[in-house]
Amino acid sequence: AQSVTQPDIHITVSEGASLELRCNYSYGATPYLFWYVQSPGQGLQLLLKYFSGDTLVQGIKGFEAEFKRSQSSFNLRKPSVHWSDAAEYFCAVGDITGGGNKLTFGTGTQLKVEL
Amino acid sequence: GAGVSQSPRYKVAKRGQDVALRCDPISGHVSLFWYQQALGQGPEFLTYFQNEAQLDKSGLPSDRFFAERPEGSVSTLKIQRTQQEDSAVYLCASSPAGDNEQFFGPGTRLTVL
């Protein structure tokens, strides 16, 4: 069965600093990978996704992620964090073998931005 | 256009009560998913519909949980004889045919006392 590990439960960065959120996955085939952001009281918003092709994926709000098959990783990065980026971030792997796209999520990383 | 909507947004139930949670997916979306998100955790898959057919219910934690989508649009997640461990946010997501991106609703926060 697939699994996702987000080793950092909490991360604090200063506004304007760079950010990297780690994600490691376990999946038997080529994975479908996603990063979602969740603000308090809000649903999950998709930041970016990787299905195939270029391993560096650009997303919304200036985020990017790099798929590294050899490391089973899909880390999320942003060059300069804004205070509005404070939220919880979830990495997920998709399983399409059942016909749909059943997502398995990590436990999330809570990002705090210091002004 | 309108996104995925869920109602109620908040539900408080006494232990043993039955509850019904509603999901209105984006119009025309073929696939519909339910997830359960416990406090401090990531969402966990419950069940998946393609149109009106429930193709995967492997994540439903017990036979007290039941989901339906009779006309292939609105879906209802029903929990019978609620227990305290059922307290969580229940998220619904939908996606169009041939697309692996899921669009999530705001969730229903269920508290069982």
Query: Comparing C-alpha atoms, which of B95, B59, B109, B104 is closest to residue A90?
Result: B104
Tokens standing for A2?
Answer: 């697939």
Chain B hits for A42, CB-CB cut-off 8 Å, are: 106
CATH code of the domain in which A11 resides: 2.60.40.10
B79 or A94, which is more confident: B79
CB contact under 8 A, B100 and A90: no
- As to burial, measured by CB atoms within 10 angstroms (0-12 exposed, 13-18 middle, 19+ buried), residue A66 is middle
Contact B106, B43 (CB under 8 A): no
The pLDDT tens digits of the residues spanning A11-48 come to 999 999 999 999 999 987 778 999 999 998 788 999 99
Percent of chain B's residues with pLDDT above 70: 99
Q: What pLDDT does residue A54 have?
A: 87
User: Which pLDDT does position B82 carry in this prediction?
Assistant: 98
Range of the domain at A91: 3-114
Residue B59: CB atoms within 10 A of its CB come to 16
> Contact A26/A73 with Cβ under 8 angstroms?
no
Report the CATH fold assignment for B5-112.
Immunoglobulin-like (2.60.40)
How many domains, in total, are found in chain A?
1
Pairwise CB contact (< 8 Å): A102 & B56: yes
pLDDT digits (tens, 9 = 90+) for A62-112: 999 999 999 999 999 999 999 999 999 999 999 877 666 889 999 999 999
Considering CB atoms only, which of B3, B91, B102 is closest to A101?
B102
Using the Cβ of B35 and the Cβ atoms of chain A, whether some distance falls under 8 Å is answered with yes
